[in-house]
Chain A
Amino acid sequence: MADIRNNFVGIKSPNPFWLASAPPTDKAYNVIRAFKAGWGGVVWKTLGEEGPPVVNVNGPRYGAIWGADRRLLGLNNIELITDRDLQVNLREIKQVKKDWPDRAIVVSLMVPCVEDAWKAILPVVEETEADGIELNFGCPHGMSERGMGAAVGQVPEYIEMVVRWCKQNTRMPVITKLTPNITDVRKPARAALSGGTDAVSLINTINSITGVDLDSFAPQPTIDGKGSHGGYCGPAVKPIAMNMVAEIARDPETRGLPISGIGGITTWRDAAEFMALGAGNVQVCTAAMTYGFKIVQEMVAGLENWMDEKGHASLDDIVGRATPNVTDWQYLNLNYVAKAHIDQDACIKCGRCHIACEDTSHQAITSMVDGKRHFEVIEAECVGCNLCVNVCPVENCITMEPLAAGAMDQRTGKPVSPVYANWTTHPNNPMAKVAAE
């Protein structure tokens, strides 16, 4: 049986599934329910400094987009950090950690960008015996207007500065949570590392407007006729998050920096993909907010079953396994040739491959052969773009079949070269590196 116990920067949990800092981890009641359901850890919803708590809008706080049958695909929220009293939160954290010693409790923090504010809060959190802290440099709404959250996360120098203050003032591991609302996620990650962070977590939510009410012309979610960009999360953001995780994992400057992966993780498979790209564990929020805490049972069992099936004994066997395969476009093998192939037995003749190719690609799929409705790839036209595979409603009906070395590529009229060759040496590249004479 695969061992899925997790050790993330020294923080141990029975599985790699943590709940992210968010509404589900705002108080003991929810966190206890999560632990009972089987979650390996939580990042307690972000605490602010001592004093009158923040206030939230009085609804709505969330917006969403849906797929068919109202399947929630993306969620947006404008809720701020915890609006409960700091001392109440600290008391509850301490009690829950005492009652659930085997689970990870990390405390998310966001205080003003001055050293004294951090110096003040770190010891009181430490006193709860929580396992670590996560610096909320990502929250894109509300708090960022006050110079916190994403306002810090968007300035690498600030990140480095605050991380350094924290490392100097606490023994607890520091996880720096990054905002995706930047152009190059490697810069804040490098800054966090320079400041001495133990890990980064990403992504926080993405600036978004989920919709516009076309009667009132108000953005959604709508508060008294107005709306503000909120943080987008859920399945829709997963591809964006995975790329950012991979960028940090493969960046020579941050290679080896532990990453807690966040962003649309809904199933064990999502989690496995994040971990393969370099995440040491994962954090989940929207999926729990959509379906409740029970989903962790599917995640745990699914991950274990997959690892058993593939012979992966522990998480170390899967973390980062896909990272080396993420590369720059210029290093992709231009001598690799694949052609679409349509399985005629599986084809239901909807014709979507044809019209996609005909209207928007390379005119490489028939619609009619010998007077019959028939969809077939014209290899001499197929560039192997994969669009037909993506639009086909039948799984595995259209597949991309690589041509073996030496086989004739009917499109180019040339045999497939067995040699790897990329853009850096391609004759069409004016910057091509030519071997010295």
Chain B
Amino acid sequence: MATGHFKEGIAGGRLSSEQYADNFSDLHPPLDHHEALVESDRCYFCYDAPCMNACPTSIDIPLFIRQISTGNPIGSAKTIFDQNILGGMCARVCPTETLCEEVCVREVAEGKPVQIGRLQRYATDVAMSENKQFYPRPEPTGRSVAVVGAGPAGLAAAHRLARHGHDVTILEARPKAGGLNEYGIAAYKSVDNFAQAEVDYVTSIGGIEIQNGKALGRDYQLSDLIRNYDAVFLGMGLGGVNALRADGEDADGVTNAVEFIAELRQASDLSGLPVGRRVVVIGGGMTAIDAAVQSKLLGAEEVTICYRRGQEHMNASGFEQDLAAANGVTIRHWLQPKRVIAEGGKVSGIELEYTAMNGDKLAGTGEMLMLVADQVFKAIGQSFVPAALNGSGASIELEAGRIKVDAEGRTSLAKVWAGGDCIFGGDDLTVSAVAQGRDAAESINRALTSNGRA
């Protein structure tokens, strides 16, 4: 066993290389052919299936599962991609336990749902491994659409627009496309560089150009896009990270969880990625879980999630909480950060205050708790940064700090649509972003064409 485990401070090389490889292997290994047949046979092919209604992209789940069971994984993949071109990633990262699998009649009956996510991965893996493309690129319409952000919403919009013959330019601030699929998902949920493989698969329809390193507000303005393209789709996600509002949070060793997760995904050598010996994660959502579990997997000795409300209020699903617990993460509730304690500028601990509901308001009780920590992750949510939108021209209407859209994804500006985490009403799910991107693309197509003709 590597002795790096007990190194004080934030350090890399805590584990042996085999342990890193093992810790960051596929969380849910793919089903093999026989397993997929057996699992698909468990599906009852429900009438007006609850799973299908629970899927934000409305994939015809009973049909795709039946196609697997009859030895037609390619047809199954098409059923999935018809509704969700990022069905491969969604199969890996969807919180199925709170979506399709939660309402599976076998979950209701036996507490053991059909493993819809893993079946979806099986079918999409088959099609993608054969690079089976289902959607021919039609004659170009001559219309061009700018898509801001190459995340799930942008990619879904771009693919659907390309299917309709429009030329799409995706402008992406980061060096790689994929958005949170590339930078924001725990590494063990998307192994083997799947996010990039999926970007390649989606864009190989043709008619989609991705320009990396192009940030809205820095390299170009929204008004430029409105002027130069027939339509614009905004899918840039959330740029800001909420502050702890605790004293001393600028100390060395206080890190944004999303940056840590992104860094981990991009690391070519995990042993070179430093992590604290004693880590505290502040937050209660998926990001908190991803940061905490991965800290543990990188060899942190002690990882504690502190959440300011109760277990029942956590955004992280029960499955994710169990995953954290199974990896040795301690989850503590009713604690809010008050003060980051630093020694020589570096974090040495965090002081938290217990909380309780005071009527319908959360309030500190005055009782304090000290946790020793050499690293503190902030995972208390992200926020939309509207500044980039307002470089020039008319400003776009916001609602509760995010872009306001109508049912079709239209913003307050003509020719501008939006979807994904940057819009109001988004639920921070990859699959919802895909649905919004897809539906906005259909709306754009209707606007750019007459009766579907350019």
Partner-B contacts on A (CB < 8 A):
68-70, 348-352, 354-355, 367, 373, 393-394
Shortest Cβ gap from B101 to chain A (Å): 14
Known contacts A349-B50, A350-B105, A351-B49; 11 additional CB pairs below 8 A are A70-B34, A348-B106, A348-B108, A349-B46, A350-B44, A351-B46, A351-B47, A351-B48, A355-B47, A367-B48, A393-B44
B41 at interface by CB-CB < 8 Å: yes
Shortest Cβ gap from A418 to chain B (Å): 38
Task: Contact check, A348 vs B48: say whether CB atoms are below 8 A apart.
Answer: no
Given contacts A354-B47, A355-B47, contact A348 B41 (CB under 8 A): no
Task: Contact check, A69 vs B41: say whether CB atoms are below 8 A apart.
Answer: yes
**Inside 8 A of A355's CB, which chain B residues have their CB?**
47
Task: Kindly identify which residue among B38, B44, B45, B48 contacts A69, using a CB–CB cutoff of 8 Å.
Answer: B38
Task: Contact check, B48 vs A68: say whether CB atoms are below 8 A apart.
Answer: no
The B34-86 residues at the A interface (CB cut-off 8 A) are 34, 37-38, 41-42, 44-50
Task: Contact check, A68 vs B45: say whether CB atoms are below 8 A apart.
Answer: no
Shortest Cβ gap from A71 to chain B (Å): 10
B1 at interface by CB-CB < 8 Å: no
Complex alpha-carbon distance, A196 and B136, angstroms: 74
Write the chain A residue with the least CB distance to B41: A68
Interface centre among A348, A352, A355, A394 (most CB of B within 10 A): A348
**Inside 8 A of B106's CB, which chain A residues have their CB?**
348
**Inside 8 A of A367's CB, which chain B residues have their CB?**
47-48
Complex alpha-carbon distance, A355 and B49, angstroms: 11
**Inside 8 A of A393's CB, which chain B residues have their CB?**
44
Q: How many residues of B contact A (CB 8 A)?
A: 16
Task: Contact check, A352 vs B38: say whether CB atoms are below 8 A apart.
Answer: no
B414 at interface by CB-CB < 8 Å: no
Interface centre among B38, B108, B109 (most CB of A within 10 A): B109
Task: Contact check, B105 vs A348: say whether CB atoms are below 8 A apart.
Answer: yes
Shortest Cβ gap from B239 to chain A (Å): 41
Complex alpha-carbon distance, A348 and B105, angstroms: 6
Write the chain A residue with the least CB distance to B53: A373
Task: Kindly identify which residue among B37, B38, B41, B46 contacts A350, using a CB–CB cutoff of 8 Å.
Answer: B46
The B77-135 residues at the A interface (CB cut-off 8 A) are 105-106, 108-109
Given contacts A348-B108, A349-B108, contact A68 B37 (CB under 8 A): yes
**Inside 8 A of A68's CB, which chain B residues have their CB?**
37-38, 41-42
Complex alpha-carbon distance, A69 and B106, angstroms: 18
Shortest Cβ gap from A210 to chain B (Å): 16
Task: Contact check, B47 vs A352: say whether CB atoms are below 8 A apart.
Answer: yes
Nearest 7 interchain pairs by C-beta: A351-B47, A68-B41, A355-B47, A348-B109, A348-B105, A350-B46, A350-B44
Complex alpha-carbon distance, A101 and B420, angstroms: 81
Write the chain A residue with the least CB distance to B49: A351
**Inside 8 A of B41's CB, which chain A residues have their CB?**
68-69
**Inside 8 A of B109's CB, which chain A residues have their CB?**
348, 394
Shortest Cβ gap from B46 to chain A (Å): 4
**Inside 8 A of B50's CB, which chain A residues have their CB?**
349, 373
Interface centre among A349, A354, A355, A373 (most CB of B within 10 A): A349
Complex alpha-carbon distance, A350 and B62, angstroms: 11
Write the chain A residue with the least CB distance to B42: A68
Task: Contact check, A352 vs B48: say whether CB atoms are below 8 A apart.
Answer: no
Complex alpha-carbon distance, A349 and B49, angstroms: 9
**Inside 8 A of A351's CB, which chain B residues have their CB?**
46-49
**Inside 8 A of A69's CB, which chain B residues have their CB?**
37-38, 41
Shortest Cβ gap from A412 to chain B (Å): 28
Q: List 17 A-B contacts (CB under 8 A).
A: A68-B37, A68-B41, A68-B42, A70-B34, A348-B106, A348-B108, A348-B109, A349-B50, A349-B105, A349-B108, A350-B44, A350-B47, A350-B105, A351-B47, A352-B46, A373-B48, A393-B44
**Inside 8 A of B34's CB, which chain A residues have their CB?**
70
**Inside 8 A of B105's CB, which chain A residues have their CB?**
348-350
The B197-229 residues at the A interface (CB cut-off 8 A) are none
**Inside 8 A of B47's CB, which chain A residues have their CB?**
350-352, 354-355, 367
Interface centre among A351, A352, A354, A355 (most CB of B within 10 A): A351
Interface centre among B41, B47, B49 (most CB of A within 10 A): B47
Complex alpha-carbon distance, A350 and B44, angstroms: 7
**Inside 8 A of A354's CB, which chain B residues have their CB?**
47
Write the chain A residue with the least CB distance to B40: A68
Write the chain A residue with the least CB distance to B47: A351
Shortest Cβ gap from A331 to chain B (Å): 37
Complex alpha-carbon distance, A373 and B105, angstroms: 12
Shortest Cβ gap from B67 to chain A (Å): 16
Shortest Cβ gap from B68 to chain A (Å): 12
Task: Contact check, B37 vs A352: say whether CB atoms are below 8 A apart.
Answer: no
Complex alpha-carbon distance, A393 and B48, angstroms: 16
Shortest Cβ gap from B103 to chain A (Å): 9
**Inside 8 A of A394's CB, which chain B residues have their CB?**
109
Shortest Cβ gap from A63 to chain B (Å): 17
Write the chain B residue with the least CB distance to A359: B47
**Inside 8 A of B48's CB, which chain A residues have their CB?**
351, 367, 373
**Inside 8 A of B38's CB, which chain A residues have their CB?**
68-69
Task: Kindly identify which residue among B42, B45, B108 contacts A352, using a CB–CB cutoff of 8 Å.
Answer: B45
Complex alpha-carbon distance, A262 and B395, angstroms: 83
**Inside 8 A of B37's CB, which chain A residues have their CB?**
68-69
Complex alpha-carbon distance, A361 and B49, angstroms: 20
Shortest Cβ gap from B235 to chain A (Å): 34
Shortest Cβ gap from A361 to chain B (Å): 14
**Inside 8 A of B44's CB, which chain A residues have their CB?**
350, 352, 393
Shortest Cβ gap from A339 to chain B (Å): 21
**Inside 8 A of A350's CB, which chain B residues have their CB?**
44, 46-47, 105
Shortest Cβ gap from B20 to chain A (Å): 36
Complex alpha-carbon distance, A205 and B428, angstroms: 61
**Inside 8 A of B49's CB, which chain A residues have their CB?**
351
Complex alpha-carbon distance, A69 and B48, angstroms: 26
Complex alpha-carbon distance, A261 and B105, angstroms: 40
Complex alpha-carbon distance, A182 and B49, angstroms: 45
